[in-house]
Amino acid sequence: AKLYKRTSYLLPALRKSTVGNKNAPKSSSHEGQAATQNMSFENMVESRREEACRSILVQVHSEQSCFHLHKYCCQYGEVKGMHHYSLPGSSHFVLVEFTHKANVDHILKCSSHVNRKEVIPVRSPFLWFRAPNKPLQPNHTSSEPPTPVEINGNNIPAPAELRNWIQAAESFSDQILVLHRATSLNDLGSRLRFLTARQIELALSGLFPQITVMPFGSSVNGFGKAACDLDLVLLADKEETNDEDNSDCRIVFHAKTLLTNGRTQVQRHMETLGDMVQMLLPGCSHVRRILQARVPIIKYHQDLTGVECDLSMTNMSALYMSELLYILGASDWRVRPLVFAVRSWAREIGLTNPTPGRWITNFSLTLLVLFYLQQHSKHKGPVLPTLNTMISLAGSGDHRITSEGVNCTFIRDVSQLCHHMASSSKKLPNTDNLETLFIGFFEFYSSFDFTTHAISLTNGTSVTKPDHSPMYIANPLERGLNVSKNVSHDETERLRIEFRNTAWMLESVSLTPHETSLTVSQKKADEAWGLTALFEAPQSAAKGRNIFYLPTQRVPPPRIMDVSNLFQQDTDEVGDSFV
């Protein structure tokens, strides 16, 4: 019994009011996240990458196998932790973290293939636990020290359960915090994403010993939802991208010459990469090549970690964008919950859609929230700094320019940034609670003129639109690019109407919980309030008020992919019995 630690997404204490408390209790599955949350972006990424090097993923028969797997792994080194999860189809997996990377090397060296003649003998940290030749010993005879095992670490609350928790919160601000804590990417989610990145890295490390496959986007920027996709960028030789002066070095690698058209070369490399992922890498299926996009990508599903991946090759600025978002999210405890609430709102009322198209993306919505938090009123200062402030505070170690020449220099030290924000403001600090900020967001954008104005996080003010795009959010790092270029006129209009509807609803729905005393009926206590009321009634509220509601057909856009090169889906079936 000591060995197992059941995951509960929310500790009871979480339901107590936690507003304004940075150190509010977290669920056990967020403990690992908490360990990295005060790190700089680079340290957090390095720590996760190093953790992935010390980890293996083992498919098992059921959660009952954890004990025997633990015992087996202990022969190869000290096991630091075990994290069990299951995926649809009742497949069970355990991510085993060893204390030392050498333990992983040792266990992989001693692992084997079954039916060697029938499989491609790839070696990787993706394994399965075979039934033993001899009968297993009962659990209680073990002399091994117990290792905490997290069971069902990937569980996400069912919608009804999440609704109950949100309903049970003590205030509107608390509801936002509960939503954030219950639905954000947890420790196991991060581990699995870094292990998924490592699979590509290991597969290519013979050709490119310096290769780094870096997660970016919501998996690392602090705005990730449980089960979010994994955006990856492949950097073949990270050391040389740092423009080191190596003119004194007399031994030089022989290498093939790059084609003059870099884009064609990238597309061909991506095609080869797609073939490798599809044909050789265990667990990778549904490979799609989207090579005509501005940034060519390979999409695939990693069936063993349950992660949907987008792999790109020349997207260094997107990595720095993730760092920028991470820093802004870390610089004030209200930023991430507020972004989550707005993104959930957009999803609930159908403004965002997992399929890319002419509607607003989560990334653009995030920038809208960050821009709103850069605003200040007559007396109160802003919650967040402008990018210009962050650039002006950059130290000598913050200098970053991508190989495409994009300047991504800004301050990386969150505590120094917070100190500057607190000490430089001539106005009162903004101490608004999440409720006030959430309402303020909808009021702000209800009156924002998207027709003539663009959003610029660089100086935190709106600017005249440089072109006729229906919505213009200037890319903070790549000036001249519009992040919301994909958003159509209809969708911009719909967004504007929804901002107004919601601002109106926030004035009319109850933002406090109903009393649960004996004098109040159970029915009243269950009545939706705050976030629940907002998420459950937007359509009917819009209809009831006869507000013109643009019908937007959500037809998935045509996909650009090389259909001719598509292969049959791989079958990575396991051909033997599990323990």
Q: Which residues bind ligand GTP (CB under 6 A)?
A: 216-218, 221, 225, 228-229, 231, 318, 321-322, 361-363, 475, 478, 481, 483
**For Mg ion, the closer CB: 191 or 299:** 299
Dist CA 328 CA 452 (whole Å):
27
The item of Mg ion, ligand GTP, none sharing an interface with residue 55, based on CB under 5 to 8 Å by kind, is none
DSSP letters of 383-431? SS--HHHHHHT--GGG--B-TT--B------HHHHHHHHHHH-SSB---
List the one residue from 186, 218, 352, 456 that touches Mg ion (CB under 5 A). Answer: 218
**Distance (Å) of CA 485 to CA 247, 432, 480:** 42, 32, 11
**For ligand GTP, the closer CB: 467 or 573:** 467
Least distance between Mg ion and beta carbon 308 (Å): 9
Apex CA 376: angle with CA 370 and CA 381, to 5°? 105
Residue 19: phi and psi, rounded to 5, are -60, 135
Beta-bridge partners for 231: 216, 310
**For ligand GTP, the closer CB: 321 or 454:** 321
**For ligand GTP, the closer CB: 189 or 513:** 189
Least distance between Mg ion and beta carbon 66 (Å): 31
**For Mg ion, the closer CB: 104 or 228:** 228
Q: Which residues contact 77 (CB under 8 A, 6 or more apart)?
A: 98, 99, 100, 102, 103, 106, 107
Least distance between ligand GTP and beta carbon 66 (Å): 31
Beta-bridge partners for 212: 235
The item of ligand GTP, Mg ion, none sharing an interface with residue 59, based on CB under 5 to 8 Å by kind, is none
**For ligand GTP, the closer CB: 439 or 481:** 481
The item of ligand GTP, Mg ion, none sharing an interface with residue 27, based on CB under 5 to 8 Å by kind, is none
> Are the C-beta atoms of 45 and 61 separated by less than 8 Å?
no
Least distance between ligand GTP and beta carbon 318 (Å): 4
- Which residue stretch of 218-226, 249-257, 423-431, 520-528 sits at the interface with Mg ion (rule: CB under 5 A)? 218-226
CA gyration radius for the chain?
25
The item of Mg ion, ligand GTP, none sharing an interface with residue 126, based on CB under 5 to 8 Å by kind, is none
Least distance between Mg ion and beta carbon 353 (Å): 14
**Cα dihedral sign, 362-445-414-39:** negative
The item of Mg ion, ligand GTP, none sharing an interface with residue 407, based on CB under 5 to 8 Å by kind, is none
The item of Mg ion, ligand GTP, none sharing an interface with residue 322, based on CB under 5 to 8 Å by kind, is ligand GTP
Q: Is 97 helix (H, G, I), strand (E, B) or coil?
A: strand
> Are the C-beta atoms of 201 and 212 separated by less than 8 Å?
yes
Least distance between ligand GTP and beta carbon 409 (Å): 17
The item of ligand GTP, Mg ion, none sharing an interface with residue 481, based on CB under 5 to 8 Å by kind, is ligand GTP
The item of Mg ion, ligand GTP, none sharing an interface with residue 478, based on CB under 5 to 8 Å by kind, is ligand GTP
Residue nearest to ligand GTP (CB): 217
Least distance between Mg ion and beta carbon 68 (Å): 37
- Which residue stretch of 227-235, 244-252, 534-542, 557-565 sits at the interface with Mg ion (rule: CB under 5 A)? 227-235
Q: Judged by CB under 5 A, does residue 570 bind Mg ion? A: no
Q: Judged by CB under 5 A, does residue 217 bind Mg ion? A: yes
What ranges in 447-571 are assigned the alpha helix state H? 489-508, 522-526, 530-536, 538-544
- Which residue stretch of 41-49, 126-134, 207-215, 225-233 sits at the interface with Mg ion (rule: CB under 5 A)? 225-233
The item of ligand GTP, Mg ion, none sharing an interface with residue 475, based on CB under 5 to 8 Å by kind, is ligand GTP
Least distance between ligand GTP and beta carbon 183 (Å): 11
> Which amino acid belongs to residue 136?
L
The item of ligand GTP, Mg ion, none sharing an interface with residue 147, based on CB under 5 to 8 Å by kind, is none
- Which residue stretch of 9-17, 23-31, 222-230, 570-578 sits at the interface with Mg ion (rule: CB under 5 A)? 222-230
> Are the C-beta atoms of 120 and 203 separated by less than 8 Å?
no
Mind spelling out the 3-state secondary structure of 121-170? CCCCCEEECECCCCCCCCHHHCCCCCCCEEECCCCCCCHHHHHHHHHCCC
- The interaxial angle of helices 316-330 and 414-424, nearest 10 deg, is 50
Q: Is 480 helix (H, G, I), strand (E, B) or coil?
A: coil
> Are the C-beta atoms of 451 and 459 separated by less than 8 Å?
no
Give the CA count within 13 Å in the CB-facing half-sphere of 318: 23
Q: Judged by CB under 5 A, does residue 513 bind Mg ion? A: no
Give the CA count within 13 Å in the CB-facing half-sphere of 165: 25
The item of ligand GTP, Mg ion, none sharing an interface with residue 566, based on CB under 5 to 8 Å by kind, is none
Least distance between ligand GTP and beta carbon 179 (Å): 15
Q: Judged by CB under 5 A, does residue 315 bind Mg ion? A: no
Q: 230 to 259, contacts with Mg ion by CB under 5 A? A: 231
The item of ligand GTP, Mg ion, none sharing an interface with residue 532, based on CB under 5 to 8 Å by kind, is none
Least distance between ligand GTP and beta carbon 250 (Å): 40
> Are the C-beta atoms of 111 and 127 separated by less than 8 Å?
yes
What token pair was written down for 144?
């091994």
Dist CA 423 CA 176 (whole Å):
29
> Are the C-beta atoms of 131 and 579 separated by less than 8 Å?
yes
> Are the C-beta atoms of 308 and 299 separated by less than 8 Å?
yes
Least distance between Mg ion and beta carbon 481 (Å): 18
Least distance between Mg ion and beta carbon 3 (Å): 35
- How long, in residues, is the chain? 579
Burial of 134 (0-12, 13-18, 19+ CB in 10 A): exposed
**For Mg ion, the closer CB: 79 or 230:** 230
The item of Mg ion, ligand GTP, none sharing an interface with residue 321, based on CB under 5 to 8 Å by kind, is ligand GTP
**For ligand GTP, the closer CB: 263 or 427:** 263
Given the rule CB under 5 A, which residues bind Mg ion? 217-218, 229, 231
